[in-house]
Amino acid sequence: MLAQSLGRELSGKGVHVVHVIANGGITDEEGEDTERGKKMAADAVGRTYAGLIAQEKTLWTSELDMRPAQEKW
């Protein structure tokens, strides 16, 4: 709710507010866990954040939930 409120208040000033959840392990080591999608690769997380920053002002993400590809629900 805080991110949504801030987004509504600040978007008119060109400020992009996004609530990001990293729900899982993040590692910067290449290995079986990242290859099989059991953990999130730090590089992939960084590229995802960079994508948020590069979004055009006509469309902004307000929430993003990142999870390992093989997460067990």
Q: Encode pLDDT of 31-72 as tens digits.
A: 998 989 999 999 999 999 999 999 998 999 999 999 999 987
If one counts the domains in the chain, the total is: 1
pLDDT in tens, 7-40: 999 999 999 999 999 999 999 988 998 989 999 9
The label of the residue with tokens 């939930």 reads: 65
Provide the domain limits for residue 35.
Answer: 2-66
Angle at CA of residue 7, ends 65 and 2, nearest 5°: 70
**Residue 27 forms part of a structural domain:** yes
**Residue 72 forms part of a structural domain:** no
Helix (H, G, I), strand (E, B) or coil at 54: coil
**Residue 40 forms part of a structural domain:** yes
The whole-angstrom separation of Cα 61 and Cα 18 is 6
State the pTM of this model.
Answer: 0.84
Helix (H, G, I), strand (E, B) or coil at 46: helix
54 neighbors 25 (Cβ within 8 angstroms) = no
